[in-house]
Amino acid sequence: MWKKEYQRWREFQTLNEDLALQLEQLADDENLLEDAFYKDLEFGTGGLRGKIGPGTNRMNIYTIRKAAEGLANYIEEQQLIERGVAIAYDSRYMSKEFAVETARVLGCHNIPAYVFTSLRPTPELSFAVRHLNAGAGIVITASHNPPEYNGFKVYNDDGGQVPPSQAKAIIQYVNQVENELEVQVSEQDELEQNNLLRWIDEEVDTAYLEELKHVTVRSDIKKDLNIVFSPLHGTAKDLVEKGLQQSGFTSVYTVKEQASPDPEFSTVSSPNPEEHQAFEMAIDYGAKIGADVLMATDPDADRLGVAAPDADGNFKVLSGNQTGALMLDYLLGQSENLPDNGLLIKTIVTSEFGRVIANSYGVKSIDTLTGFKFIGEKIREFEQSGEFNFLFGYEESYGYLVKDFARDKDAVQAALLAAEVAAYWKNQDKTLWEALHELYEKHGFFLEDLQSMKLEGKSGAAAIQGIMDDFRNAAIEEVAGKKVIAVEDYHSSTRKYVQEERSEEIDLPNSNVLKFILEDDCWFCLRPSGTEPKIKFYYGVKSTSNAKSQEIINTLKTTINNRITVPSI
């Protein structure tokens, strides 16, 4: 089947010259050709993401056109044509080209495209959709993936990533596009003349910066804080620097080697603030200037990593769960007049630490599936119903939202709040690291970990599903010496209580995820990634000391690793 698709591309007479040359170079590598053509690139968490190159399973102008054509047909069906589509892009290879190709397809449907003239953070795109009253939004980005990747992330008219129901409708339209090579496009200059391609910049920047002022919780806090910031060669530099400055933080040192956009992300092995190597240069800066806090954002600026000195002055990179706990405790503890219906929204793989903190302030918390689109969906739902008042949303993978003028995780907002939290604790003669351990002493020593197994290609996808099937079908009653209390299967939306032999429905969308709830506040979760060829294993424990929690989680990880069998691939 893949050979037929490959031949179709080879025989297309007006194939893009660069892609045609790349196909020629791959002609003798059947494995790579099969991977490029054995399937169509699929929507994952809100859009497309994949390696750049020729083929139906790659990111290129033709797969972009197919996705844009499907989205255009969906917009027509939803009667949103006149509202247009806002488009942003990051520093990756082909990002601006893909943004313009998208506008060229939309223009054929008389759908206006509002496109930034230069790279912008993903959360600003989320804001732009709302600010411009657009019918949809698109970000060309692959977030923190390696340099060879790019993506096409779709947002709805609320500024949130499209949830499953909308994604399903869009992908149906995408799948109806019979030949991605023959999707019609308009010429760029024609679109500009007809006002169907509208370039945007300062108006949205100014409005977004104005909204950032509302992120401040306490304006009276002394802000003599030394901050080191790295945008990791991405989009966050201007808005983070301006946002911190207007909030009163004047001692901000940007890592100059990582300040400029670079599609190769040449100073890091991965542009992911979740990985400690991304902080190496920031740590060097921090040691030289005596920094109080280090911050780094991923390329599209929707994730924020934070590091702080310990009692010995050594910088410790905080996990997303730890940073979220510090932000949440500060927000709830320092805000005046918390609403009676205030709400924390987190994901099913985010630490229970946040729920415990929220409970201590009398604030309700709810869980969503993994992915910030589900948090954004809940914000919209409760905004319309008035049932809850959104206070904070976060996920363990370094995504946070403070104010809902954006509807996606926002590293710019998070940077401002992290700085304020650090300043508050500095005024108490404590670092963020010391403040974190005060929270542990008060609420218990929560510890989490994440392991990823990369399994690429068609055979890798089969291996991942085999692992899921093994855990789903086995009657597991004990893990690492701890009884299994419940098994949550989000594919069937059921929670089975193992010891009681009863089940109940989970009121969340279907997803290929398994979560095992163990005794003594321990749990683990299996989840295939929606954006990378990986299966992820999440772990969470709680005990009376850090050492005990570390011992428990090590035993749990070892037990799970010993069970996993991966076929030869």
Kindly state the tokens that stand for 360.
């201590």
Q: Name the H helices within 132-250.
A: 164-175, 188-193, 202-212, 237-246
d(C-alpha 122, C-alpha 258), whole Å = 19
d(CA 402, CA 393): 7
Residue keyed to tokens 């304006």: 219
C-alpha span between 482 and 105 (Å, rounded): 56
- Are 144 and 299 within 8 A, CB to CB? yes
Q: Which residues contact 84 (CB under 8 A, 6 or more apart)?
A: 111, 112, 113, 114, 132, 134, 135, 198
In the chain, what is the straight-line distance between the N-terminal and C-terminal CA atoms, in Å? 20
Q: Which two tokens stand for residue 200?
A: 């945007």
Output 313-316 pairs: Cβ under 8 A, ≥24 positions apart.
Answer: 315/279, 315/283, 315/286, 315/287, 315/291, 316/433
* Marked catalytic residue, from 143, 365, 511, 549: 143
* Greatest alpha-carbon span in the chain: 70
Question: What is the rounded distance in angstroms from the CA atom of residue 74 to the CA atom of residue 77?
Answer: 5
- 247 annotated active-site: no
As a whole number of angstroms, the distance between CA 231 and CA 70 comes to 33
Q: How far is CA 10 from CA 6, 23, 237, 316, 457, in A?
A: 6, 8, 42, 52, 22
DSSP character at residue 235:
S
Active-site residue numbers?
Answer: 143
